[in-house]
Amino acid sequence: MLMIEMNRVRLLNGLERGRGKYVLYWVQGCVRLSHNDGLAFAAQEADRLKLPLVVYFGISDEYPEASYRHYHVLLEGVLELYEELRARGIRMVIAGISPEKGAVALGRDAACIITDKAYVRHERQWRTFVASHTEVPFYEVESNLLVPVEIASQKEEYSAYTLRRKIEPMISYYAGDGAQTQMEYRGPLYADDLSLEDIREERAELVLAHTAVDRSVDRVPAVTGGYTRAKEQLRDFIENRLDGYSAYSGDPARDFSSNLSLYLHYGFISPVEIYREVIGADTPSVADFIEQLIVRRHLAFNFVYYNPLYDSFEGLPQWAKRTLSVHQEDVRENLYTFSQLEAGSTHDQYWNAAQKELRVTGTMHNYMRMYWGKKILEWSPTPAEAFDRALKLNNRYQLDGRDPNGFTGVAWCFGKHDRPWSEREVFGQIRYMNDRGLKRKFDMERYLRKVDERCAGSRSLFG
C-alpha cells in the first residue's frame, strides 16, 4: 500500500475529524499526477474514509502580476490533468473563482481539504483564509521540493554553503524508494452536483474567455504546458545536453540549460522525478545539475519562505542596503526610464538582446539574467527603484516569473546570497558586471544571432 512521507504533511487548522460527501484536493502548485504527494495523500484519505475524491482548481484574474502568458501555459497543464483524472474516474472541477474562496465553498461538503504547500505571501494568506473559514481538517502537503522547506532548515540561510551542509545528508532519504508516490485510487466517482460551476473547455483560451485576465502580455506559442511536455523536455535534456552541462550551461551563446524551470514553477513535474531520472546518468555533469536542482532551488525557497520582505529592497542583507545607500547619490553615466528598459532601448546591444528574448520568448539565459539585473541597478535613479523595476519586468514577462527562483535571482543582483566585493561607484560593494566581461568570456556575436533566431520563431504583443 502506498505510504506518504508524513514529514510532508501539515494540519493547518487543528481539526482532526470531519464529515462530508467527498475528500477535496485543492490543486494549486502541483498540476500533475506523477510524484504528487498532495494528490496521493488525498486519494489515500478518500480510500480510508470510503469516500469519492474531488479535485478542484480555481482560476482568478486577480492573481498578482499574472497575465495571459502565464495563465495560458498553466491551463494547458490543468486541462491535461483534468483528462487524466477523468480517465481514472476522478471528478475535477475548474472554477472561475479566487482559489481560496472556491476551496471554502467546496469544503462545506467535504470530509477534509488537502492542498499543496505554499511559499509566497499571497498563497500563504489563502491557506490562512481557508483554515479560518472551514470546519473540517485542512492539510497542506509539500510536493514541490525534494526536502520539505521546514525540514531542510528552520531559518533563513545566509548562503548556499550554509544550506548545502544541512540538506545533502537528507537527499537520499527523500528521493529514495519511498518517494515513488504514484497515486492509487479505488473509490467511486462523485456524481452529484457541486457548489461551483465547472468552466472546463477543450482549450486553454476557451477557459480564459470566462475570465478578465490581463491580456497585455501575449502567450508564447512555442511553449506548451503540462506534464507530457515536461517529460519530453527532461528526456531531451538528458539525451542531448546533460553531458555538456558543466562545461557549457553558463555560456549564453550555447544552449545547454535544462529548460525545466517553467515546468517546475507550475508544478508540471516534480523535482523528485527529475532527480531520479538524472542521478543515474553516466556523466560528471550530474553533480553540477543536482546542485542547481536541489541546493540552489531550495535556497531560493528558503529565502522566500523565511524572509517576509523577499520582494522588497528592504529584504536585502544589511551590508548590501548600507553600501548601496552610501552610493545612492553617485553620478550615473546612463539613466533610462522604465519604458525604455521594457522596450530594450538602451545603448547596450547585449542587454537589449536579453530583454528582447525575455519579452518575446518568456525567458532568458541565466547568465544574462544576472547581467540584466546588474545593469538595471546601474541605469536606475536609485537602488530601490532598480530593484522594483527588475522584479516588475521579471514577473511580467518571465514564464516562470513570480517564483521563489525569480525573487531570489533579482535579490542576488543586489547582494543576496553573495559577499561584499571591491568598492566602486554606484555599486558600492555589490558584485559588478560589464559588457567587456561578456565579450572576454563568450562569443557574444553568436549570442545575438541565437536571440534573433529564437525570437523569429515566436511572437508577442511586444515582439
Domains of the chain: 1-143 (3.40.50.620), 145-181+225-306 (1.25.40.80), 308-456 (1.10.579.10)
pLDDT single digits (tens) 279-293 = 999 999 999 999 999
Mean pLDDT confidence for 386-413: 97
- Within a 13 Å sphere around the CA of 363, how many CA atoms are in the beta-carbon half? 20
pLDDT at 413: 98
| Span 178-219, pLDDT tens digits | 565 677 787 788 888 999 999 999 999 999 999 999 999 999
Q: Cell match 486553454: residue?
A: 204
Q: Which grid coordinates are listed for 411?
A: 535579490
How many whole angstroms separate alpha carbon 109 and alpha carbon 19? 8
Would you say 53 and 21 are in contact if contact means Cβ atoms under 8 Å apart? Answer: no
Q: How far is 290 from 448, CA to CA, in rounded Å?
A: 29
Is pLDDT above 60 for 1?
A: no
DSSP for 115-180, written as a single string: EE---SHHHHHHHHHHHHS-SS-EEEE--SSSS-HHHH-SS--SSHHHHHHHHHHHHHHHTSGGG-
Exposed, middle or buried: residue 43 (CB in 10 Å: 0-12, 13-18, 19+)?
A: buried
Residue 462 pLDDT level (bands cut at 50, 70, 90): very low
pLDDT, mean of residues 373-402: 97
**Res. 95: pLDDT tops 50:** yes
Q: How far apart are CA 204 and CA 237, in angstroms?
A: 27
pLDDT for position 179: 63
- pLDDT for 2: 56
Mean predicted lDDT score pLDDT of the chain: 95
Per-residue confidence (pLDDT) for residue 460, from 0 to 100: 40
Residue 456, Cβ density class (10 Å: 0-12 exposed, 13-18 middle, ≥19 buried): exposed
Measured on CA atoms in the order 396, 398, 400, 405, is the torsion positive or negative? negative
From CA 30, how far away is CA 69, in angstroms rounded? 19
User: How far is it, in rounded angstroms, from Cα 99 to Cα 206?
Assistant: 19
What DSSP line would sit under 108-126, residue for residue? TTEEEEEEE---SHHHHHH
> So what's the pLDDT on residue 459?
52
Percent share of the chain, pLDDT over 70: 97
The helix/strand/coil state of 218 is coil
The pLDDT value given to residue 3: 63
Nearest to 85 by CA among 211, 200, 195: 200
